[in-house]
């Protein structure tokens, strides 16, 4: 790797978004699409790998 870029900012969600875990083992009355949450704060978050994949896709599409 020759150069590293740091990107900072805020994300404003304007549409529906779901980044969740596996739906394996779904039971009747259970949650079918679990949301990834921070284990300490309990707040939902977007994993860095998901952002990395989306940015990579958009850059490849652009160039």
pLDDT tens digit string along 42-51?
Answer: 887 888 888 8
Q: Which has the closest alpha carbon to 33: 47, 18, 51, 49?
A: 18
**47 close to 55: Cβ distance less than 8 angstroms:** no
Query: And the tokens for 49?
Result: 């790998």
The answer, as to whether pTM is greater than 0.75, is no
Domain residue spans of the chain: 37-63
pLDDT of residue 60: 93
Q: Which of 40, 30, 34 is nearest to 21 (CA)?
A: 34
């Amino acid at each position: 790797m020759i150069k590293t870029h740091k990107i900072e900012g805020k994300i404003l969600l304007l549409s529906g978004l779901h980044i969740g875990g596996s739906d394996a083992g779904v039971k009747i009355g259970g949650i079918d699409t679990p949301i990834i949450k921070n284990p300490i704060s309990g707040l939902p978050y977007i994993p860095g790998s998901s952002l990395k994949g989306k940015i990579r896709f958009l850059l490849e599409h652009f160039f």
